[in-house]
Amino acid sequence: MTTAGATTAPSPSTDAANAEAAAAPVTLSAAAPTPDEVVAIARREARILLDPASLRRVAASRAIITDLADDSEPHYGISTGFGALATTFIDPERRAQLQRSLVRSHAAGSGPEVEREVVRALMTLRLSTLMTGRTGIRPVVVETYADVLNAGITPIVHEYGSLGCSGDLAPLAHCALAVMGEGPVRLRDGSLVDAATALADAGIEPVRLQEKEGLALINGTDGMLGQLALAVDDLRLLLSTVDISAAMSVEALLGTDAVFAADLQALRPQAGQAVSAANLRAILDGSPIMASHRTADCTRVQDAYSLRCAPQVHGGARDTLDHALLVASRELASAVDNPVVTLDGRVESNGNFHGAPVAYVLDFLAIVVADVASMSERRIDRMLDPSRNHGLPPFLAHEVGVDSGLMIAQYTAAGIVSELKRLAAPASVDSIPSSAMQEDHVSMGWASARKLRRAIDGLTRVVAVEVMTAARALDLRAPLTPAEATGAVVSLLRESVEGPGPDRFLAPEIEAATEAVRSGAVLRAVENVTGRLR
C-alpha cells in the first residue's frame, strides 16, 4: 500500500477516453460541476473555461463587499479579524495586510506532500464556489485561479493541517499563497520551483488580495470533497472489477452461478445487489467449467458465503457509493464560505463550512472498502487450501513441498485487509477544539478523506491478488476452460504475469496485476466480451 502523501495512480477507463477527457475543456459557472468534471480537471488536466455570465455575477457581489468595506460598522472578515479575533476592528489601510497575513499564517501544513490530483481537485472546487458569486471576491482572483490550474502549476500542500471545519483551511491557504506568488509549487513536469518564478514564467500576475478575499480562498470543504469525487471515480471501477474477481473465484472453485439468478435476487430488491448479480451472470455466461459440474455427481448443496453472498456485499457497497455520490452532488452545488453574500445582497455568517456531511460518507466508504476486501481475501484463501479448493494443489504450487506457490500472496492480502479494518474506524467521531474554543467542534473530514485514499489503494491490491490467484487456479483446471470473459482476463494477465510453474520472484507479478486492476485493463478485457458492466 502507498504511504500517506505518496502518489496514487489514477484509474482511467480507456486510453481513448482519457485522451478525449484531457482534450475536452470544462466550463465552470454558477451551476454545480459534476464529479466527473472535477475528476477530468484533477486527473486528466482538462482545461478550464469560465462562464462570462457567472463572472458578471461575481463582479456584482464584489460591489456589495466594496460598499461594506467603507461602512463604519464592523463586518466579519471584511473589517474585522478572524475566528476568535472576530471582535477586533481593522483600520481600512491595514485590511489588505489582514488578508495576506491570514493566508500566510494559515499555510501551516506539515508532513509529506499531498498528491497532485488532490490539490488540483481542491483548487477546482474552490474555483467552483468562487464562480457562484456568493463569496464577494473580485473576478481577477477567479481568473487567476483558473490560469494557475490551466498552466499546470500545483501548490505544495501537506498531509497534516486540516481539521475539516472552517473548511480545509491549511490546504486551501497553501493554494492561496501560491496565487499570491509565494511558497513552493510544482510544475507540470514535477519540478519544484517557487511560486513567483512559476507565475512569471507562465505570464500570470500574482494576486494582491483585498477585503474578504483571503477568507474566501480558504473557507471551504474542498479538500475532503475533492478526494470524495476522486474516490467515487476509483470505486466505480473497483466495484465492477471485484465482481470480475469474484466470478473468477466462483468458477475456479467449481461453485455455482445458480444463486445469482435474477428471480432469486428480486426476492430482496436491493438495487446494488441486483446490479452485482447481473454482472456475475454476464461474466460467467457459457463457462465450460461451470457446465462440467452441473451433474448428478455434484453433491454440494451450497457454496460458502464468500462466493454465494458476493452480490449482497458488493451490492451493499454499490448502494453506499450511490449515497456518497448523492452527498457529493449536493456539496458540489453548494456555495461554502463564511461570511457569504446572499441572493438578496446580505452578507451573513453561517456554518456551511462544517465538513460533517462529507466526512460521514468518507468514513462510510472506508467501512465498505474494508468489507469488500475482506470477502475477496477469503476467496483467495479458499483457492489455496486443498481441503476447500476441490482438487487444486495446495497453495496452487507447482511441486508441493518444494514450491510455496501463492502462499505468501495471501499473507500480503491478509495484511492489507487487517490494515483496512483499522482504517475503517471513523475519523468523523473525533473532535479537538481550536481557535480558543471558538471552533469547538470540528469534522476531521480531511482525515477521513486521507485514510479513504489509502484504503482504496489497499482494496485495489487485494482484488489484484484475487485476480492473480483465480487466474492460476483456472489454468490448473485444464483441460476444462473458463468462460470467454474470465478467460480474457487470464489472457490479459499472462502478458505480464506467468502462469503456473516453479516458484519465482512474486512481488513484480503482484504489482503487474495491481496495475491491470487500477488502470481498468481487467474491466476492459471483460467488457470487450460482455458489453458494458453496470
From CA 76, how far away is CA 96, in angstroms rounded?
14
Tell me: pLDDT of 150 over 70. Answer: yes
The packing angle between helices 356-384 and 310-332, to 10°, is 160
Tell me: pLDDT of 252 over 70. Answer: yes
b vs e for 7-30, b when ≥16 Cβ sit within 10 Å of the residue's Cβ? Answer: ebebbbbeeeebeebeeeebebbb
Based on the fold, state whether residues 148 and 239 are members of the same structural domain: no
CATH for 249: 1.20.200.10
Q: Name the residue with higher pLDDT: 296 or 453.
A: 453
From CA 383, how far away is CA 58, in angstroms rounded?
60
Based on the fold, state whether residues 195 and 282 are members of the same structural domain: no
Q: DSSP letters along 250-318, please? A: HHHTT--SGGG-HHHHHTS--HHHHHHHHHHHHHHTT-HHHHHT-STT-------HHHHTHHHHHHHHH
Q: What's the pLDDT at 81?
A: 63
Q: Tally Cβ neighbours within 10 Å of residue 238.
A: 27
> Could you tell me which residues come within 8 angstroms of residue 348 by beta carbon, excluding any fewer than 6 positions away?
339, 340, 342
Based on the fold, state whether residues 200 and 280 are members of the same structural domain: no
Average pLDDT over residues 182-198: 98
Q: Name the residue with higher pLDDT: 22 or 193.
A: 193
Alpha-carbon torsion (236, 237, 241, 242), positive or negative: negative
Tell me: pLDDT of 219 over 60. Answer: yes
Q: Band the pLDDT of 359: cuts 50, 70, 90.
A: very high
Q: What's the pLDDT at 17?
A: 44
Write out the residue range of the structural domain in which residue 269 sits: 228-333+373-530
CATH for 35: 1.10.275.10
Based on the fold, state whether residues 198 and 289 are members of the same structural domain: no
Domain presence at residue 364: no
Based on the fold, state whether residues 139 and 200 are members of the same structural domain: yes
Based on the fold, state whether residues 254 and 129 are members of the same structural domain: no
pLDDT above 70 covers a percentage of the chain that reads 90
b vs e for 96-126, b when ≥16 Cβ sit within 10 Å of the residue's Cβ? Answer: eebbbebbbebbebeeebbbbbbbbbbbbbb
Q: Tens of pLDDT along 263-286?
A: 999 999 999 999 999 999 999 999
Number of independent structural domains in the chain: 2
Based on the fold, state whether residues 192 and 287 are members of the same structural domain: no
Give the HSE-up count for residue 300: Cα atoms under 13 Å, Cβ half-sphere.
14
From the number of C-beta atoms within 10 Å of its C-beta (0-12, 13-18, 19+), residue 75 rates as middle
**Residue that finishes a domain, picked among 192, 220, 248:** 220
pTM of the model: 0.91
C-alpha cell belonging to residue 360:
460521514
Tell me: pLDDT of 69 over 90. Answer: no
Q: What's the pLDDT at 390?
A: 92
Q: What's the pLDDT at 330?
A: 94
Domain presence at residue 4: no
The packing angle between helices 507-518 and 521-530, to 10°, is 60
b vs e for 285-320, b when ≥16 Cβ sit within 10 Å of the residue's Cβ? Answer: eebebbeeeeeeeeeeeebeebbbbbbbbbbbbbeb
Q: What's the pLDDT at 361?
A: 98
Query: Which secondary-structure segment (H or E) carries 113?
Result: strand 110-113
Q: Band the pLDDT of 7: cuts 50, 70, 90.
A: very low
C-alpha cell belonging to residue 29:
459557472
From the number of C-beta atoms within 10 Å of its C-beta (0-12, 13-18, 19+), residue 450 rates as buried
pLDDT above 90 covers a percentage of the chain that reads 77
**Residue that finishes a domain, picked among 169, 197, 220:** 220
Based on the fold, state whether residues 52 and 192 are members of the same structural domain: yes
Report the chain's mean pLDDT, rounded to a whole number. 91
Average pLDDT over residues 1-14: 38
Q: Band the pLDDT of 126: cuts 50, 70, 90.
A: very high
Domain presence at residue 356: no
Residue type, position 192, single letter? L
Domain presence at residue 355: no
Based on the fold, state whether residues 299 and 169 are members of the same structural domain: no
Tell me: pLDDT of 19 over 50. Answer: no
Q: Band the pLDDT of 348: cuts 50, 70, 90.
A: confident
Verify whether residue 76 is a known catalytic residue: yes
Domain presence at residue 7: no
Domain presence at residue 261: yes
Based on the fold, state whether residues 114 and 64 are members of the same structural domain: yes
Based on the fold, state whether residues 296 and 246 are members of the same structural domain: yes
Tell me: pLDDT of 326 over 60. Answer: yes
Strands 192-194 and 184-186: antiparallel
Catalytic hit among 76, 160, 360, 411: 76
**Residue that finishes a domain, picked among 198, 220, 242:** 220
Tell me: pLDDT of 526 over 70. Answer: yes
Q: Name the residue with higher pLDDT: 18 or 138.
A: 138
Prior bond of 339 cis (ω within 30°): yes
3 state SS of 27: strand
> Could you tell me which residues come within 8 angstroms of residue 473 by beta carbon, excluding any fewer than 6 positions away?
249, 252, 253, 383, 389, 392, 396
Give the HSE-up count for residue 236: Cα atoms under 13 Å, Cβ half-sphere.
20
Strands 154-155 and 184-186: antiparallel
Tell me: pLDDT of 211 over 90. Answer: no
Based on the fold, state whether residues 440 and 523 are members of the same structural domain: yes
Domain presence at residue 76: yes
